[in-house]
């Protein structure tokens, strides 16, 4: 049985790595890694193959950037040619990016079975392009691997057949568990190189609602500069965010605010593990901080990962900058939210996926 794994953006790489490794133990399975080229910057893509121990892609569609429609269409056109030629037995898609829904649509129309890793997550906000990708992908997938029990409930409510749904846990945590010891080994060198001298906040921003206009971006950067009097702020800047900062004429010049290029997964994991707090709008980071028991302040009005709030360390801030400052100082004064690790976030999610997939002699 030949399985195609579809990746295209940074979060996909952390999810596919443990699944490919787990499936490599099964002799009846061959694997092909397809990179759509959705992320093509070396700091956002190439470095992750090296650090995660992923093989180089067997196929690179080189779709590149563009509007959501342009990018999705490019991936579909190029992926269709590959699928018609290779006729895989199963296509596994990951997460909620444009590559995910594009590959799922092509496969479903060509009667190729689709498995969705990280199925069932919902923000209930259709203004988010990722929510549309999640909804469409789950409706046309044959196997739905959910990371948390709310995913099962969402799928059942949407009419997905129960036999398609498999609660397996969080594959992102598999990668974190495997590489955390490596992150700890390099931590002393990172600490020295960045000249860290006490508590620090780690910041990531990339969502359009936060970075695409001065009205969204400026209040956040004002808070970051303001808290620099009490702790260091580390800000690895996403290429999209760096461009918007320049276009808006926003300066982040402050001796306690370290603006950095994007870093590799292992370096970022080390920075997360030792942070006093993480301020973010990323979905995956909400999960990682929950597992690491690091306070997380999320600059969004909603999240498709509610388990990080109900069980974990995550607090939704929205666009309320007064609340952001209040929560920052709550953490600094020892009043951070307590959390616990959700069920099946144990580093074995990929093994469960592999068992389910390999037990199927054929998906046709």
The answer to whether residues 81 and 126 belong to one domain is yes
Cα 312 from chain centroid? 17
pLDDT tens sequence across 273-299: 999 999 999 999 999 999 999 999 999
For residue 298, the surrounding DSSP H or E stretch is strand 296-298
Say yes or no: 93 and 132 in one domain: yes
Average pLDDT, the chain: 94
Claim to verify: residue 117 and residue 192 sit in the same structural domain: no
pLDDT reported for residue 244:
87
Task: Indicate whether 364 belongs to any domain.
Answer: no
**Who has greater pLDDT, 363 or 23?**
23
Residue 220 CA, chain-centre distance (Å), reads 22
**Do residues 280 and 298 lie in contact, with contact meaning Cβ atoms separated by under 8 Å?**
yes
pLDDT band of 78, cuts 50, 70, 90 = very high
103 found inside a domain: yes
pLDDT of residue 65: 80
Structure tokens at 32: 């092909």
77-98 burial code (b ≥16 CB/10 A, e <16) = ebbbebbeeeebbbbbbbbbbb
Chain-centre distance for alpha carbon 316: 17
Check whether residue 26 and residue 97 sit in a common domain: yes
Torsion over CA of 97, 103, 104 and 108, rounded to 10 degrees?
Answer: 170
Q: Which CATH number fits the domain that encloses residue 26?
A: 3.40.50.2000
At 23-53, the pLDDT tens digits run 999 998 999 999 998 765 555 456 777 888 8
Whether pLDDT at 332 is above 70: yes
Residues 72 and 21 in one domain: yes
Question: What confidence score (pLDDT) does residue 39 get?
Answer: 63
Looking at the structure, do residues 7 and 100 belong to the same domain, yes or no?
yes
Q: Looking at the structure, tell me whether residues 79 and 205 fall in a common domain.
A: no
Question: How far is residue 220's CA from residue 239's CA, in Å, rounded to a whole number?
Answer: 17
Q: Domain range for residue 115?
A: 2-169+345-358
Domain match, 21 and 125 both = yes
Average pLDDT over residues 335-358: 96
Q: For the chain, what percent of residues have pLDDT higher than 70?
A: 97
Please check whether residues 153 and 205 belong to one and the same domain.
Answer: no
Distances (CA, A) of 121 to 146, 284, 362: 8, 12, 27
Asked, for residue 59, whether it belongs to a domain, the answer is yes
Are 302 and 319 spatial neighbours (Cβ–Cβ below 8 Å)? no
Over residues 180-194, the pLDDT tens digits come to 999 999 999 999 999
Q: Is residue 189 part of a domain?
A: yes
- 229 in the same domain as 183: yes
- List all residues 6 or more positions away from 161 whose beta carbon is below 8 Å from its beta carbon: none
From 39, 206, 254, 274, the catalytic residue:
206
pLDDT reading at 360 higher than 60:
yes
337, part of any domain: no
Q: Are residues 138 and 13 in the same domain?
A: yes
Closest by CA to 228, choosing from 251, 201, 188, 250, is 201
The upper half-sphere exposure of residue 364, i.e. CA atoms within 13 Å in the direction of its Cβ, equals 8
In a domain, 363, yes or no: no
Q: How many domains does the chain have?
A: 2
Span 291-319, mean pLDDT?
Answer: 97
Q: Tell me if 339 is assigned to some domain.
A: no
Indicate whether 79 belongs to any domain.
Answer: yes
Longest distance between any two alpha carbons in the chain, whole Å: 61
Average pLDDT of the segment spanning 112-140 = 97
∠65-66-72 over CA atoms, to 5°?
Answer: 90
User: Which pair of structure tokens corresponds to residue 209?
Assistant: 């609602």
CA–CA separation, 86 vs 342, rounded Å?
A: 39
Whether residue 206 lies in the annotated active site: yes
Percent of the chain clearing pLDDT 90 (strictly above)? 81
H helix intervals, 212-317: 214-227, 239-248, 265-273, 283-292, 307-310
Whether residues 159 and 304 share a domain: the answer is no
């Amino acid at each position: 049985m030949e399985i195609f794994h579809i990746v295209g953006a940074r979060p996909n790489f952390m999810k596919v790595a443990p699944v490919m490794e787990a499936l490599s133990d099964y002799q009846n399975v061959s694997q092909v890694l397809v990179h759509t080229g959705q992320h093509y910057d070396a700091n956002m893509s190439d470095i992750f193959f090296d650090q995660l121990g992923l093989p180089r892609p067997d196929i690179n569609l080189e779709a590149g950037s563009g509007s959501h429609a342009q990018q999705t269409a490019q991936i579909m056109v190029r992926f269709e040619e590959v699928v018609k030629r290779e006729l895989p037995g199963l296509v596994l898609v990951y997460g909620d990016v444009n590559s995910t829904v594009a590959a799922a649509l092509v496969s479903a129309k060509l009667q190729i079975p689709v498995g969705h890793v990280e199925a069932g997550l919902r923000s209930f906000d259709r203004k988010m392009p990722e929510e549309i990708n999640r909804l469409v992908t789950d409706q046309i997938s044959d196997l739905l691997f959910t990371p948390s029990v709310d995913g099962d409930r969402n799928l059942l409510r949407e009419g997905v057949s129960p036999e398609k749904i498999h609660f397996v846990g969080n594959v992102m945590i598999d990668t974190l568990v495997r590489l955390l010891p490596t992150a700890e080994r390099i931590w002393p060198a990172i600490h020295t190189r960045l000249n860290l001298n006490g508590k620090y906040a780690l910041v990531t921003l990339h969502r359009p609602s936060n970075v695409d206009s001065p009205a969204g971006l400026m209040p956040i950067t004002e808070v970051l500069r303001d808290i620099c009097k009490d702790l260091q702020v580390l800000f690895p800047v996403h290429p999209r965010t760096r461009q918007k900062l320049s276009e808006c004429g926003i300066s982040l010049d402050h001796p306690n605010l370290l603006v950095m290029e994007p870093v590799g997964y292992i370096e970022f994991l080390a920075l997360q593990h030792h942070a006093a707090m993480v301020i973010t709008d990323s979905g995956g980071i909400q999960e990682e901080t929950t597992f690491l028991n690091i306070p997380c302040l999320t600059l969004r009005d909603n999240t498709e990962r509610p388990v990080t709030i109900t069980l974990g360390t995550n607090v939704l801030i929205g666009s309320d900058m007064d609340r952001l400052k209040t929560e920052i100082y709550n953490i600094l004064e020892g009043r951070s939210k307590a959390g616990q690790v959700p069920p099946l976030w144990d580093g074995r999610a990929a093994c469960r996926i592999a068992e389910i997939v390999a037990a199927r002699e054929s998906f046709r």
